[in-house]
Structure 1
Amino acid sequence: MTAPAPTASSLAELVRLPAALTVVGDTLAGHAAGGGPTTARRLLLPAASAGLYLAGMALNDWADRDLDAVERPERPIPSGRVTPGTALATGAALTLAGITAAGAATGRRGVAVASGIAAGVWAYDTVLKHHPVLGPATMAACRGLDVLLGATTGSLRAAVPAAAGLAAHTAAVTTLSRGEVRGTTPAVASSVAGATVAGALAPVLTARAEPHGSARRATAAAALAYAATCLPGQLRAAADPTASAVRDATRSGLHAMIPLQATWAARAGRPVTALVLGGVAAAGYALRRRARARGRRQVSIT
C-alpha cells in the first residue's frame, strides 16, 4: 500500500521553514563585507542559502529518525506524517536547488562555495553530528562558507572576519545544543556566554573610524541587539543547566544570528543592509509571538 503524500504543513515542519529566516542574512552580510555589484541575479544568493539550510534540516530528521522515535516521537518522520524516503528526497532536491541558485547568481565561484556547504551539511548530518569536536566545527565551517557565498560577488578575503564571526557563534550554539535532551554543565553554558560577549565586541572594536562615527554607532547598536537576544538565555542555562533551559538558550542563539549578521553588515559600512536585517529580525519576532499566542489560545480552549 502506497503511503499518502505528506501535507505541506508536515513538509514545512520537516525543514523547519520559519528558521530559514536566520540564514538568508548570511549572504547579505557577506556581500556587504566583500563588496561587488548588486544585481537582480545576485539576489538568488539568499535563496541558495535557504535551500541548503532547509536541505540540512530534512537530512537531520532522516538521519535521526530512529533516535527521534524514542526522544521526539512527535516529529514528522516518527509520527508517520513523512516517510524516510520522502525526507531524503527532499534533502537531495533542496541541495541541488541551492547549488543551482548559487551558480545562477555568481557562476563557478558560487557553485564551488555552495558545493562546499552542501558537502559539510551532508557530512554533518550523516556522520559527524555526534562527534564532540568535529560536529560543531563542521557546522561552523558551513556557516562561515555561507557568509563567503555572499562575497562571491566581490572579495572573499574582505569577508573573512564576518565569516569567522558567524562561524564562531554557530560553533558555540551547536555545542550548547548538545544538552537539549539531557542538560549541559555550567562550564559549557558559561563558555558559550563568554563567546557571545566576545562575538559582540569584536566587530565593534574593529569597525572603521569615520568622521562622524556612524558605522561604529550602527555596529554597536546591532551588537547590543545581538547580545540582548541570546546572552540572557545563556546566562540562565549557566545558572540552571537543565535540558529545558538549554533548549531555550539554543533557540535564542539561533534567533541571534540575524542581529549578528546585521552587526557585520554595519561594520562593513552598509547601514541599509543592516536595517533590512533588522526588519527580518523584527518580522521573525512577531511571527514567534503570534505562534505562541495561538498555542496559548488552543491550550485554553482544550
Structure 2
Amino acid sequence: MAGASGTERAPALRARTGRRSRRRAWAELLRLPALFGVPGDALAGTAAAGARPGARTLLAIGSSLCLYEAGMALNDWADRDVDAVERPHRPLPSGRIRPAAALTAACAFTAAGLALAARAGRPALTVAAPLAATVWAYDLGLKHTPAGPVAMGAARGLDLLLGAAASTGRPGPALPSAALLGTHTVAVTTVSRHEAQGGAPLAPLAALATTALLTRLVTRAPAAGTGRHPSARPATGRPPADALGAAGPRSVRGAAGRPSAATLLTTAGAAAYAAATARPYVHAALNPSPPLTQRAVGAGIRATIPLQAALTARARGTAGALLIAALAPLGAKFAKKVSVT
C-alpha cells in the first residue's frame, strides 16, 4: 500500500515541481524585483505636477508596470542569440521559456499598458504611446548603438511624465524631474553595456560622478511644479509652491524655522541614493570584472527608488515619498532571490 501511495504521489510532485520551475523562469525573464522601482515614476511625476495621487495615478502605475514588463520580455527575446553565448542560464537560451512565448508576452503587456493609459485619459495615452515606441525601439535596434543609453533614459523620463499627464493632464511641470531621473538611467544603462564582458572602468566612474551631480541638484534645485492642479485639493498649512524660491526645498521651513518634513525627506532620499551606488561604482571602476559590474548595475537600478523618493519629497509629495521609500526594502529582499539584471 505504501509503495502504491508513493507511486501515486510522484506525478503530483513532479507537476508541482514543474509549475515552480516555470514560475521561476518567468520571474527571471520579467525581472520581477525590479518592478518595485516602477511605481515611483508615476508618483514622482504626480507630485512634480502639483497634484495628489488618485485613481488616474493608479492607472498610470498599472500602465508603467505593463510597459516595463513588455520591455523585459522583449529584451530577452531580442538578445536570445547573444545570451546563448554570454548568459546561457537565462530562461530563453536554457529552454525554460520558448522565444515565441516571450514575444507574445511582450505584445500582450504593451497592449495592456496602452489600454490602461487610455483609461487614464488622452494626455496619458499621448505620453504612453511614445513610451511604448521607445521601449520597442531600444530593444529591437537602439540597444547596441551609442543611442541606447539615451533611449533608455528617455523611456524612464517619459514614464515619470506619464504619471503627471494621467493625474493632471499637464506633463510640462514634471519635465525637470523627468530630466534628472532620465540622466540617472542613462548612467546606469551605460554601465550595463559592459556587465557581461567587464573591462570598462570609465563607465562606473562616469556614473559615480553623475550620481554626485544629481544628488546636489536634487537637494538644491527648485522643485518641479509651481502650483497645484485645479482639481487637486490644496494641502492645509502648506506654503504656496512659489515659496520654494530659487533655493528649492531648502528654503521651506516648518515652525520656529525648523526644516519641513519635505526638506528632511528630500535630504534623506538623496543621501540614500548616493550611498546605494557609491561603493558598487567604485568597486566596478577599480576591478571592472563582470560580477562587480553586474553588482554596480543592480545597485544603480535599486537606487532609482530613493531618487524617486527624493524627487517626490522636494515637490512636497511627502506621503508619496514615504510610500516610495517603503518599496526599497521589498525590492532588495526579492532581488536576493531573482536578479534584476
Q: 2:163 aligns with which of 150, 153, 156?
A: 150
Q: 2:293 aligns with which of 246, 255, 258?
A: 246
Q: 2:312 aligns with which of 255, 259, 265?
A: 265
How many residues of Structure 1 are paired with residues of Structure 2 in the alignment?
286
Contact 1:145/1:163, CA 8 A, preserved across alignment: yes
TM-score normalized by structure 1?
0.90
Contact 2:305/2:327, CA 8 A, preserved across alignment: yes
Aligned to 1:78: 93
Q: Which runs of 5 or more structure 1 residues have no equivalent in the other structure?
A: 293-302
Q: 2:133 aligns with which of 116, 119, 123?
A: 119
Deviation at 1:217, TM superposition (A): 2.3
Q: Give the direction of change, closer, same or farther, for the CA distance of 1:7–1:186 in structure 2 (3 Å limit).
A: closer
Aligned to 1:235: 282
Q: Give the direction of change, closer, same or farther, for the CA distance of 1:222–1:13 in structure 2 (3 Å limit).
A: same
Q: Which structure's CA Rg is the greater one? A: 2
Q: Distance in 2 between matches of 1:288 and 1:8?
A: 16
Q: Distance in 1 between matches of 2:314 and 2:199?
A: 34
Counterpart code for 1:129:
K
Contact 2:42/2:57, CA 8 A, preserved across alignment: no
Deviation at 1:37, TM superposition (A): 5.3
Deviation at 1:161, TM superposition (A): 1.2
Alpha-carbon displacement from aligned partner over 1:76-125 (angstroms, at most 9, x marks no partner): 111111111111110000001111111112x1111111111110010000
Q: Which runs of 5 or more structure 2 residues have no equivalent in the other structure?
A: 1-17, 222-247
Q: 1:30 aligns with which of 45, 63, 66?
A: 45
Contact 1:176/1:184, CA 8 A, preserved across alignment: no
RMSD: 1.7
Range moving further from structure 2, 185-194 or 111-120: 185-194
Q: Distance in 2 between matches of 1:138 and 1:83?
A: 27
Contact 1:63/1:126, CA 8 A, preserved across alignment: yes
Aligned to 1:286: 333
Higher relative contact order (CA 8 A, sep 6+): 2
Q: Distance in 1 between matches of 2:140 and 2:113?
A: 19
Q: Distance in 2 between matches of 1:157 and 1:145?
A: 11
TM-score normalized by structure 2?
0.80
Deviation at 1:149, TM superposition (A): 0.3
Aligned to 2:150: 137
Counterpart code for 1:113:
V
Q: Distance in 1 between matches of 2:174 and 2:149?
A: 21
Contact 1:58/1:88, CA 8 A, preserved across alignment: yes
Contact 2:42/2:159, CA 8 A, preserved across alignment: yes
Q: Kindly, what percent of the aligned residue pairs are identical? A: 44
Aligned to 2:55: 40
Q: Distance in 2 between matches of 1:37 and 1:190?
A: 37
Deviation at 1:43, TM superposition (A): 1.0
Contact 2:36/2:330, CA 8 A, preserved across alignment: no
Q: 1:210 aligns with which of 252, 263, 273?
A: 252
Q: Distance in 1 between matches of 2:334 and 2:30?
A: 17
Q: Distance in 2 between matches of 1:186 and 1:65?
A: 27
Aligned to 1:224: 271
